[in-house]
Every structure is written in C-alpha cells, then in structure tokens.
C-alpha cells in the first residue's frame, strides 16, 4: 500500500501545508506495517518550474505515479487567492494523459473512490461572513478537479489565518489562527489513519 504525498509550498521551514501533509504521512505510517510513502515535491520539480520539452512523456510519468498510489495527499498553500502555479502545472499535465483527460476518460472515473486529502493553508480568513468571503479560489478549484473530475473520495483540510503570527494587522485574530491550525493538524492525523484503514479494507 502506498501513499503519494504531494507538496507545493516554496517554503520548507514554517510551511503549514507541509506540516499538514506531514501529519497525514505520519498517521498513515503509524496505522500499520507496509505503508510506503512516495514524496513528490512540485516546488522542486524542474519539469514544472522550468522548460520541459517532452510534454506527453512527463504527463505519463506523473500520471503513472498518481495511479500507482492507494491514497494521495496534496498540500497547497493559497498564493494570491489561488493555488500555486506548480500545482496548476501538475494538474494540467495529468489531464494531458488520456487516463485523466475528460474527453477520453469519463469524468469521475480516473481516481474513482481513491482517498485524496487536500491540505490547504490560507494566510487570511475566507469563510462565511468574513470580509473576503468568496475570495478563496484555491479550495473550490481543487475540490472540483479531484472530486468531480477525477472522482476521488476527497477529505478537505483548511488552516486559515496562517499569516496572523507575523502580520500586525491580524494580531487580534491570532487566537482564531491557533484554533484553526490545531484543528487542521488534528484532522490531518485522523485523515491519514482513515485513509490507511480504507485502503486496507479495499485490498483485503
């Protein structure tokens, strides 16, 4: 059984999205023996951040990696109200492959039922009633791609207000940031363990 861990933050130290994917990974490993983990760091992949001449072969290799996984966790910090460019490039390359292309594979079947954890870290707050409600264009896009287009069984983790610790303008919201962070880490651990149990039942 293998978990594919996908990270995309340009930060390593202090990255909340990497902390969440790490919590999923640790719970996955702790749930029992044989829990292999494959790590794909999109921020360090030159095929996504630089020039790459062989689009179809790159797409096939990335698609193979995803399809070989029993579960997937994707860490995506919100940058400028959307997903990182490397995540968009990765998804675009997956869809180049016929096994993910909705024109060749029926929507909802590429990852039918595969557990996918989406770990999103937001510097601000974008929930209902907040001043920037509706500005989060990262979470709806990721859910649309992985749940609706690929058919995965998606668990969403969102840590909000991650910039509050450093931004004086958000100082009064630090208690909410700490609560959101703690809740997301706890839910990440639970999601990793749950994904491992589901995969074990499916392959038993």
- Range among 29-33, 72-76, 125-129, 165-169 rated most confident: 72-76
Strands (DSSP E) contained in 2-126 are: 2-7, 36-41, 71-77, 115-121
* 174 compared with 35, residue with greater pLDDT: 174
* 84 compared with 53, residue with greater pLDDT: 84
Per-residue pLDDT tens for 4-51? Answer: 999 999 999 999 999 999 999 999 999 988 889 999 999 998 888 665
Q: Which string of DSSP letters, residue by residue, matches 115-179?
A: EEEEEEE-SS--STTSTTTT---SHHHHHIIIIIIS--EEEEEEE--TTTTT-GGGGGGHHHHHH
d(CA 146, CA 162): 24
**pLDDT of 163 strictly over 70:** yes
What is the value of pTM for the model shown? Answer: 0.87
What's the confidence (pLDDT) of residue 1? 85
What whole-number percentage of the chain has pLDDT above 70? 96
Q: Which two tokens stand for residue 43?
A: 């921020």
**The 115-121 sheet, strands edge to edge:** 36-41, 2-7, 71-77, 115-121, 153-159
């Amino acid at each position: 059984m293998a978990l594919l861990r996908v990270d995309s933050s340009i930060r390593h130290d202090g990255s909340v999205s990497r902390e969440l994917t790490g919590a999923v990974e640790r719970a996955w490993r702790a749930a029992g023996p044989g829990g292999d983990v494959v790590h794909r760091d999109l921020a360090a992949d030159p095929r996504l951040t630089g020039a790459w001449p062989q689009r179809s072969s790159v797409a096939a290799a990335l698609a193979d990696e995803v399809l070989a996984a029993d579960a997937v966790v994707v860490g995506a910090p919100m940058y400028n109200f959307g997903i990182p460019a490397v995540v968009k490039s990765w998804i675009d390359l997956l869809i180049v492959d016929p096994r993910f292309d909705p024109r060749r594979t029926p929507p909802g079947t590429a990852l039918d039922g595969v557990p996918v954890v989406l770990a999103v870290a937001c510097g601000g707050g974008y929930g209902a009633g907040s001043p920037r409600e509706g500005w989060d264009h990262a979470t709806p896009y990721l859910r649309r791609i992985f749940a609706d287009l690929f058919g995965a069984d998606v668990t969403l983790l969102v840590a909000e207000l991650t910039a509050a610790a450093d931004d004086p303008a958000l100082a009064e919201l630090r208690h909410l940031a700490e609560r959101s962070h703690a809740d997301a880490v706890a839910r990440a651990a639970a999601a990793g363990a749950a994904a491992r149990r589901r995969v074990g039942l499916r392959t038993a």
